Amino acid sequence: MPLVPGLRSPYETVEKFVYFPRMIDKIRLHARGQLHPDFINNLGKAFDDRCCQYLGVSYEKLRDWVLANPASSDELAFHWAQSQGRKLSANDIDIWNSFMTKRGWRDEAREVLERRLRENGLGPDAGVETMFDYIEVDEGRPARQKAL
């Protein structure tokens, strides 16, 4: 995938919760016609869907709220999502972050990760161990070598 200006890393956080800022970026970029076509098929699916399910809010409701409130901050969107679903504790956030930042490492997503690495000609020297690492490298950023 190409580097998309304005699309943050999946490691970016709002109130220590990973991925949510990236999902908000994708919603806003798509609405402005600035999201690369490679991303459009998965809007509301995959990690977006997991994130919304974890929060207990539908992607469609979150998308509609974000688009109706274009000046809202990540924090405001995050609080709104929790008010529609469930309020996350610090422990809930730790569980989410641990799961998401390790996705593709010793789990059922490993096969997908290895396929994507092969498709992109990336080998063991790329430093990619997780799906988040893959996204980083695929978008032109270095893989993270430290846990959050």
Per the structure, how many domains does the chain have? 2
pLDDT of res. 144: 76
Mean pLDDT of 58-84: 98
Assess whether 12 and 84 both reside in one domain. Answer: yes
Residue-range definition of the domain harbouring residue 50:
1-89
Assess whether 11 and 82 both reside in one domain. Answer: yes
Assess whether 77 and 14 both reside in one domain. Answer: yes
SS3 category, 128? coil
Assess whether 22 and 80 both reside in one domain. Answer: yes
Assess whether 120 and 69 both reside in one domain. Answer: no
SS3 category, 77? helix
Instruction: Determine, yes or no, domain membership for 69.
Output: yes
Q: Is the pLDDT of residue 92 over 90?
A: yes
Q: CA–CA separation, 119 vs 78, rounded Å?
A: 35
Final residue of a structural domain among 44, 59, 89: 89
pLDDT of res. 22: 97
pLDDT of res. 148: 57
Q: CA–CA separation, 8 vs 25, rounded Å?
A: 7
Instruction: Determine, yes or no, domain membership for 148.
Output: no
SS3 category, 62? helix
Assess whether 13 and 74 both reside in one domain. Answer: yes
Cβ-Cβ contacts under 8 Å for 127 (sequence gap 6 or more):
133, 137, 142, 143, 145
pLDDT of res. 30: 97
Q: Is the pLDDT of residue 63 over 90?
A: yes
Confidence class for position 76, pLDDT limits 50, 70, 90:
very high
Label residue 139 left, alpha or beta by phi (over 0 means left) and psi (-120 to 50 means alpha).
alpha
Distances from the Cα of 16 to the Cα of 82, 100, 103, 113, angstroms: 14, 13, 18, 25
Mean pLDDT of the chain: 93
Instruction: Determine, yes or no, domain membership for 10.
Output: yes
pLDDT of res. 147: 55
Assess whether 2 and 69 both reside in one domain. Answer: yes
The pLDDT tens digits for 100-138 are 999 999 999 999 999 999 999 988 778 899 999 999 999
The continuous run of DSSP H or E covering 31 comes out as helix 20-31
Token pair listed for 70: 């274009």
Task: Determine contact, residues 134/116, Cβ cutoff 8 Å.
Answer: yes
Return the minimum-mean-pLDDT range out of 64-68, 93-97, 119-123. Answer: 119-123
Token pair listed for 91: 């422990």
